[in-house]
Amino acid sequence: MESTFQKIIRKTGMKQSFCKCNLCKKQCYTPCLATPEDIKKLIDAGYADRLAETDWYVGKLMGVIDKPIPMIQPLFDDSKGSCTFFTDGLCELHDKGLKPTEGKLSHHSTNGFKNKREIVKKSIAFAVAREWIE
């Protein structure tokens, strides 16, 4: 049976990335999206206090879906100006095997789409967000 992670890889065509270049690190200024499975693992590992309920509006704003998607995601840390898990220039979840799906698949080369609707429909973020409603 195909895992959620494998399904998102199939839908997006992305592969797991281990790049640590400055462009990839800049992506950590915004928390990456996690699937419900990712969030369960983070809660089980004791990180519930660094997660929050939120709504994903990008798909609605781009006209791809008709309403925002409610979900639970890592917090943005105002004091650091980045994801709560971005510490000393790296994701502290990476070596623990707990990095959210979007972070595992995102890479500095993931912006090659022609138009905004295509960006949303083919994005890792949209594939992850859909897991919250499917």
Residue 113 has pLDDT above 50, yes or no: no
65 against 110, higher pLDDT: 65
* Strand-pair partners of 87: 90
Helical ranges in the chain per DSSP H: 4-12, 22-26, 36-44, 58-61, 101-105, 116-122, 124-130
Residue 117 has pLDDT above 60, yes or no: no
pLDDT-wise least confident of 21-25, 68-72, 118-122, 125-129: 118-122
Q: What angle do CA 44, 48, 54 make, to 5 degrees?
A: 125
Residue 54 has pLDDT above 80, yes or no: yes
> How do residues 81-111 score in pLDDT, each as one tens digit?
999 999 999 999 989 999 999 999 988 776 5
